[in-house]
Amino acid sequence: MMPERKRQVLVVDDAGEMIVLCVNILQSLGYAVKGANRPNVALDLVGKELFDLMIVDYKMPDMDGFQVFERARALRPEMAFMLLTGHGSADVMQDAAERGFHAICLKPFTRDRLRTAVEQALRQRA
């Protein structure tokens, strides 16, 4: 029997320590994780590799999370998307839901909250 393929997750955040935190938590939960600290690097990766889920920060220089989401979704419409934000205003949350994000996780988060949001996003997409 073939072992089940690990779910591939891409974490996009301009803060390196946030990427490290997400990678550590998600790897410990059995996911295969890559991080990108710049939107254009993330979009290059999305063009080359198949990810099950993109976790994207809302506030970044160059491009915000919504712009990254729109471009990544155009490349991989089958991918799940989760917004990670410390700016969880009602407007941002509603905008994210309307755009088609599968889950939203507010910073700061716990390991359980991140796990729940990731599972929700992957379930929504399945």
pLDDT for residue 87: 81
Residue 10 identity? L
Q: By three-state DSSP, how is residue 113 classified?
A: helix
Mean pLDDT by 10 residues, the chain (126 residues): 84 97 98 97 97 97 95 97 90 94 96 98 90
| pTM of the predicted structure, to 2 decimals | 0.95
Tokens of 39: 């939107």
> What distance in Å separates the CA atoms of residue 70 and residue 68, rounded to the nearest whole number?
6
pLDDT for residue 76: 97
pLDDT for residue 89: 87
pLDDT for residue 3: 65
Q: Which CATH number fits domain 8-95: 3.40.50.1580, 3.40.50.300, 3.40.50.2300, 3.60.21.10?
A: 3.40.50.2300
pLDDT for residue 108: 94
> What distance in Å separates the CA atoms of residue 46 and residue 26, rounded to the nearest whole number?
19
Q: For the chain, what's the residue count?
A: 126
> What distance in Å separates the CA atoms of residue 20 and residue 96, rounded to the nearest whole number?
24
pLDDT for residue 60: 94
Closest to 121 measured CA to CA, from 9, 33, 2, 5: 9
Domain borders along the chain are 8-95
